[in-house]
Each structure stands twice: as C-alpha cells, then as structure tokens.
C-alpha cells in the first residue's frame, strides 16, 4: 500500500478545517483565524511540493463549503481480451479513459462521456468494479486534494478510435503487454484487477 508524506496529510487536514470553518463561521475573528490556518496549509504545501505559493493558493482558494474528497471516474472497456487505453497529451503516457466527475451528471454518465470524448468509442457501464482511495495506491505524484476513484467495467457499443484534445493516441492492449502508464491516473495493479473483474463478473465491488 502506498503512503503519503506526513506534511501532505497534515496540510490537507489543515486546509479542510480552514475551508469548513470559513463556510460555517459567523464570527469575523474566527474567520480571520481560519484564513491564517489556510495560509499555513498553503505554505506547507508549497514548501513540500516545490510549487509557487500563488499556484497552491489558486488551487485551494476556489474551494468552498464543507470540505470533501474529489471524485474521479475511469472506464475499463474491453475488446476480445484487450483493454482500451488512451495516451495522455500532458505526459505522453497511457491511461484508462476517464477524469473528474461533473456536477449534475451521474457517475455512469460521466464515465461513458469520458470514454467517448477521449477515445472516440462508445460504451455502456455495466459494473462498478472498484471505489478506491487514491492515497492507498501507488500513484505518482501525490495530489494536494484527497480523491476517490470509481472504476467501471464497460461494454463496447460502437465508435472508432479518435484522439482528442487531451489524448494523442487510442489503442487496445493485452494484459501481458501494457504500455508505459500515466501513474498519476492509473496503476498496473488497478488495470490487472479490471482484467480479473472482466474474467470473473461475479466478483463484488472492491473498496478501500
């Protein structure tokens, strides 16, 4: 199981306290204190990650309301015994199609849309295979935000390979011939688990 550096865990907790406190407080002095807590969290994140403090502040300060994890979706689409993958423009490495879940769309709508937008193929989500806490898996680099990842087994229904603004190539890969992976998005163990769910549809949903 992967582990995160202590500074990231502490800073994320401080930021969540500050965000939630700013949302609920009615007291101007408390609001000032929560802003100070947020400033400390921002400084910790900047020092630990090496990113400029203004960039960290930009990422954090748009968040309001009660602090909760972000949600991402990934689709495992198979053709014969190979899995659909897309090459990410941002790093030139391969991932399962997916991305952040959108407001006013169900998880199924999100993953089916991401598959079509990133690969050109259409698919229907058939099973929620996993709900994983990103912190507990071997993703790199770590993220400032806490993320839950929803992985779906999907049935290929049509379309054709078509890269997008976010993807530069689309292909299907056998389990023993996976390409270089975008570990920020997906790990080899996760892909192999999707193959296992494909072979054994009776498996229950995995969750952390």
User: Within 13 A of 204's CA, how many CA atoms are on the CB side?
Assistant: 3
Q: Where are the domains of the chain?
A: 6-61, 70-207
- Tell me the range of 9-13, 61-65, 134-138, 169-173 where mean pLDDT is highest: 169-173
Question: Please, which residues have CB within 8 angstroms of residue 94's CB and are 6 or more apart in sequence?
Answer: 85, 86, 87, 88, 173, 178, 179, 180, 181, 182
To the nearest 10 degrees (0 to 180), the angle between helices 28-49 and 53-61 is 130
Extract the tokens encoding 80. 């014969």
Choosing among 3.20.20.60, 3.40.50.2300, 1.20.1260.120, 3.90.79.10, the CATH entry for 70-207 is 3.90.79.10
Mean pLDDT of the chain: 94
Q: Is the pLDDT of residue 3 over 90?
A: no
User: Which pLDDT tens digit goes with each residue over 118-173?
Assistant: 999 999 999 999 999 999 999 998 888 899 999 999 999 999 999 999 999 999 99
Estimate to the nearest angstrom the gap between the alpha carbon of 72 and the chain centroid. Answer: 4
Write the CA distances from 79 to 29, 82, 84, 153, 172, integer angstroms. 59, 5, 7, 12, 7
pTM of the entire structure?
A: 0.83
pLDDT of residue 10: 93
User: Which pLDDT tens digit goes with each residue over 85-116?
Assistant: 999 999 999 999 999 999 899 999 999 999 99
pLDDT of residue 143: 84
Task: Measure the CA–CA gap between 41 and 12, rounded to whole angstroms.
Answer: 7
pLDDT of residue 1: 52
Instruction: Read off the pLDDT of each residue in 63-86 and give the average, rounded to a whole number.
Output: 94
pLDDT of residue 2: 58
Nearest to 22 by CA among 63, 57, 51: 63
């Amino acid at each position: 199981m992967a582990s995160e550096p202590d500074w990231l865990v502490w800073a994320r907790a401080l930021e969540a306290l500050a965000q939630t406190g700013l949302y609920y407080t009615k007291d101007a002095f408390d609001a000032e204190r929560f802003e100070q807590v947020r400033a400390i969290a921002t400084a910790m994140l900047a020092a630990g990650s090496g990113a400029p403090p203004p960039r960290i502040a930009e990422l954090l300060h748009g968040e309001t309301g009660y602090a909760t994890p972000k949600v991402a979706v990934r689709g495992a689409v198979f053709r014969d015994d190979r899995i659909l993958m897309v090459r990410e423009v941002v790093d030139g490495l391969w991932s399962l199609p997916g991305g952040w879940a959108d407001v006013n769309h169900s998880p199924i709508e999100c993953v089916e849309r991401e598959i079509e937008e990133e690969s050109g193929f259409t698919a229907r989500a058939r099973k929620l295979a996993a709900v994983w806490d990103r912190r507990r898996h071997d993703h790199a680099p770590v993220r400032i935000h806490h993320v839950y990842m929803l992985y779906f087994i999907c049935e290929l229904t049509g379309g054709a390979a078509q890269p997008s603004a976010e993807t530069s190539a689309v292909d299907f890969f056998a389990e023993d011939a996976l390409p270089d992976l975008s570990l920020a998005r997906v790990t080899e163990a996760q892909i192999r688990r999707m193959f296992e769910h494909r072979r054994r549809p009776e498996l229950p949903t995995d969750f952390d």
